[in-house]
Structure 1
Amino acid sequence: MDSAPIPATSHNKAALAFIFVTVMLDMLAFGIIIPVLPHLVVQLIGGSIAQAAVWTSGFATLYMLMQFVFSPVQGTLSDRFGRRTVILISSLGLGVDFIVMAITPVLWLLLIGRGISGICAASFSTANAYIADIVPKEKRAAAFGALGAAFGVGFIVGPALGGFLGHYSVRLPFWVAAALSLANFCYGFFVLPESLPPERRTKRFDWSHANPFGALVLLRRYPQVFALATVFFLINLAQFSLNATYVLYTDYRYGWGPQAVGYTLAFVGLCSGLVQAVLVRQLMPKLGERRMIMIGLPLCVVGYLLFGLSSVSWLFLLGIPFLCMGGLAGPPAQALMTQQVDPHEQGRLQGALTSLASLAGIFGPALFANLFALFISDHAPAHLPGIAFVLAALLLIGAAVIASYAIRHVHIAPHPASSTKNAVAALAGELSPLAGTVASEPLPTDQPESSP
């Protein structure tokens, strides 16, 4: 049974606004450095694009290894001591870390900086647990959709700004990212209330829950969650084809520099934000979680295939809306998982999911970057620069097959449609000043439905 939801107060409204802003600012900070980090690596090693691809994959692997190790630690700490402290310390750590990366003259110090970023960025799971604390289960798909919109807003501005700043200096975006993270810490220090009262916390900190493999045991206790978590893992693994190769692939195949990459990533953020903030809320009441998942995954497959097989840039750009439409699957899948887990284990669940994403990040960047380097080299079995995206499409086909099995066995308790719409509309009103949404328009809700 879920604990009673926290009553709506001005503190709650400020808390929801803060979570939206903190995710948006974090994504803005990360987005700013995306167009320039590979070019900074090229500058520091003085090597070729293929060599930079391998080094960049190593950076990404370390980043995700740190997330894999520390996400369950943060999740378990937040279940024991509350969410606020974990989120604030992470924001402060990111700000300091970006400063270190901005001034580093050597590659090894940049590598250490990326590892520290991975530790601090594990707080994304705590932000998700915060939402699960204060939003009743029938409205969580809408709330996670709003967070997805925050990702989109940050990603619209971040890469475009990073590409613009990178035109003057590849290090300038790191300074701006540091300022954003430190501003986020200051904002949260004065605004953010605690979402997890003492009576809902775990009684002690359990290291068996805090280690990444112990946290994953939680998923095995809930068979439907385990199947959906497998889908979640495959989606994240496929996404690392973008993280590992997007900048260097578009440079190699289309001749794009930091500015072009920044603007196209801003287009990705715009499309993603529209999907999360508009399409999710419009389609969820009509289709429900199950159908949303099964629509989003195939559309994402089309996007990856267009990325991997397009020989001209305009066809590549055509794949962006399809890829972003895959975002239709995320909020309902995450909402279904939170509904299956006890309230006092929400932090562990989000920590375990972040660990899965991090586990994908440990293997994904090296896999995709080395495939990219191989298939553009003189020893390539075939000249196929987009091999990483083709493999990502195949992974998502597998995810769709598993999802079609998993969601048949997930029980969704019915709830009154009218009261749900009114409650979700209230949530929209709390977030609308920041998300740019209309308070009078109801956010989506997960209506009971038959299996597809």
Structure 2
Amino acid sequence: MVMAEPGIMSWGLSHLFLTVFLFNLSHYMVVPAITDVSMAALCPGEDECSLAIYLSGLQQTIIGLGSLMMMPLIGKLSDQYGRKLLLTFPLMLAIFPAAVLAYSREKGYFYAYFVLNTLTSMVCEETVFCLSLAYLADNVAEQRRASVFGILSGISSCSFVAGNLLSRFLPSTASVFQVSAATAIVSVVYMRIFLPESDMEATVIAVTSREESANECLLEKRNIDDQRPLCTIPILHDSISLLKSSWTFSQAAIVAFFNTLGDLGLLSALLYYLKAEFHFDKDQFADLMIIHGIGGIISQMVLFPMLARVMNEEKLLAIGLAFNCIHIFLFAVAWSSWVVYLASTLQILSVFSGPSLRSIVSKQVGPTEQGKAQGCITGLSSLACIISPLVFSPLTALFLSDHAPFRFPGFSLICVAFTVMIAFIQSMLIKAAPAVPPILVSD
């Protein structure tokens, strides 16, 4: 079996982790500022803005449609042409939206940012994390994957905290977007110079399989009586085949969908809810997110690797989803700002779900399908990006307005909590399935 030398692999993972850190740092530092920028451009001087909520929902829907088509394709292409090449494109595209707002936050520039960010996010939003998971699966033994996936999520939490600290203490909103654009440039340059290509032990098999599949499609096209649309839509074929290949994989896809639906509902509603109900501003958003991120760091880089040694991923997934439900419920019924901060501390356990789910998925496929499998799950989760705004954005806008049918500003968050509860119930039904044995490639 072709494997990288341990030292090379270790350095490769270190460079990957730093690349992910820089990319996420660029993304997360603008999150506390973007709500104020949006409302200042669209509804100046107001604490509630339905237009901003609906635009945010529209953006999520468009991004979800794009990701649904792009993620399985990008994952499969990375199996064929390498993780590093496919990582280059999202890292480069992420530079441009921040650069627009670094120049100006006026209404016209905000709309330019909105359009550009929507288009680039179709490729960028989940691609870096998805391909990073595939890179790790190429280079890490199965028994260590859950822990390493947790560390990758912990790196993201580190960048989340660092980004929010920068946003909190940078002197102006303009400087936030300027530093974000500069950091995005550094991430792509660093990755291209230092990150080695992934050790894909079955590259030869993948190339051969690709050539055989192409020949099979040509033969099928010649058979007029048996035209197969799956040959013309290979990505759909791949996703359906993966879902059929393992009941555990299908259950994981269901969990991923409902958990993502809930997470996106929380994301679309929470900041506007806190703005309207407790008059949070950029600095308070940053403080809240710092608490959230520190909990994620402790959980994913300390607690999760320790628990992964004594508990299987299925149990850790259920624990994470259960605490996710609880902390969203606390947000919804918060009667004071201190309850909001208390709810954020439960992030320390709710983040177990992400690395646990991805580890379960990784073990259901062989080494030539890691990118395809992670892309499939991410693509299916993107369905939630389409549905979530259609459900939660109108609910949020309605219950934060003066025309709500009854007084309950956090009602949309209660609905989000019930959505995550569906994922939790499904996770309880997942039984550990035998992992797919690796394919050995002789020298």
TM-score, length of structure 2 as denominator length: 0.85
Contact 2:365 2:435 in 1 (8 A): no
Residue matched to 2:311: 287
1:380/1:46 CA distance change after superposition, 3 Å? closer
Q: Count the aligned residue pairs.
A: 408
- Cross-structure match for 1:410: 433
1:53: how far off? 1.4
Question: Contact 1:99–1:178 (CA<8 Å) still a contact in 2?
Answer: yes
2:358 maps to 1:340:
no
Q: Secondary structure at the match of 1:117?
A: helix
Q: Structure 1 residues 212, 149: closer, same or farther in 2, change over 3 A?
A: same
Contact 1:41 1:52 (8 Å CA) reproduced = yes
Give the alignment partner of residue 43 of structure 1, picking from 40, 50, 53. Answer: 40
Q: Is 1:173 matched up with 2:170?
A: no
Superposed displacement of residue 232, structure 1: 1.3
**1:313-351 Cα deviation digits (max 9, x unpaired):** 111211112244122233222212111112111111111
Please state if 1:296 is matched with 2:299.
no
**Alpha-carbon RMSD:** 2.4
Which has the larger displacement, 366-375 or 256-265?
366-375
- How far has the Cα of 1:219 moved from its partner? 2.2
- Looking at structure 2, the residues matched to 75 and 210 of structure 1 have their Cα atoms a distance apart, in angstroms, of 15
In structure 2, what residue type is equivalent to 1:350? Q
- Which letter maps to 1:102? A
1:14 and 1:191 in contact (8 A); partners too = no
Say if 2:266 and 2:328, in contact at 8 Å, map to a contact too.
Answer: no
Q: Residues 289 and 332 of structure 1 are in contact (CA less than 8 Å); yes or no, is this contact kept in structure 2?
A: yes
Q: In the alignment, is the contact (CA less than 8 A) between 1:69 and 1:211 conserved in 2? A: no
- Spell out the pairing of 1:107-256 with structure 2 (5 A cutoff): 107-114=110-117, 115-121=119-125, 122-165=127-170, 168-169=172-173, 171-195=174-198, 196=200, 198-203=203-208, 204=210, 213-217=236-240, 218-256=242-280
Q: Does 1:321 align with 2:338?
A: no
Distance in 1 between residues matched to 2:436 and 2:415, nearest whole Å: 37
CA distance in 2, matches of 1:270, 1:13: 25
- Kept after mapping to 2: 8 A contact 1:97/1:117: no
Q: Against the structure 1 CA distance between its residues 213 and 172, is the aligned structure 2 distance closer, same or farther, given a 3 Å change threshold? A: farther
CA distance in 1, matches of 2:359, 2:345: 23
Q: Structure 2 counterpart of 1:75, which letter?
A: G
Asked if the contact 1:271/1:321 (under 8 Å) is kept, the reply is yes
Match of 1:422 in 2: none
Percentage identity across paired residues of the two chains: 25
Q: Distance in 2 between matches of 1:188 and 1:399?
A: 35
Match of 2:4 in 1: 7
- Name the residue aligned to 1:52: 52
Q: Deviations over 1:261-303 (max 9, x none)?
A: 0111011011011110111122222222232222222122111
Q: Is the 8 A contact 2:314 2:430 kept in 1?
A: no
Paired residues of 1:231 and 1:403 also in contact (CA < 8 A): yes
Distance 2:436 2:258 in 1: 27
What is the CA distance between 1:209 and its match in structure 2? 9.4
Structure 1: gaps spanning 5 or more residues: 415-452
Q: What is the CA–CA distance in structure 1 between the aligned matches of 2:401 and 2:309, rounded to whole Å?
A: 49
Cα distance in 1 between the residues matched to 2:299 and 2:244: 31
CA shift digits 1:106-157 (9 cap, x unpaired): 4442222112133133232111111111111111101101101111101111
The equivalent of 2:85 in structure 1 is 85
Query: Is the Cα–Cα contact under 8 Å of residues 273 and 400 in structure 2 kept in the other structure?
Result: no
Q: 1:282 to 1:110 in 2, by over 3 A?
A: same
Match of 2:388 in 1: 364
State the shift of 1:202 in Å: 3.9
Q: Which has the larger radius of gyration?
A: 2
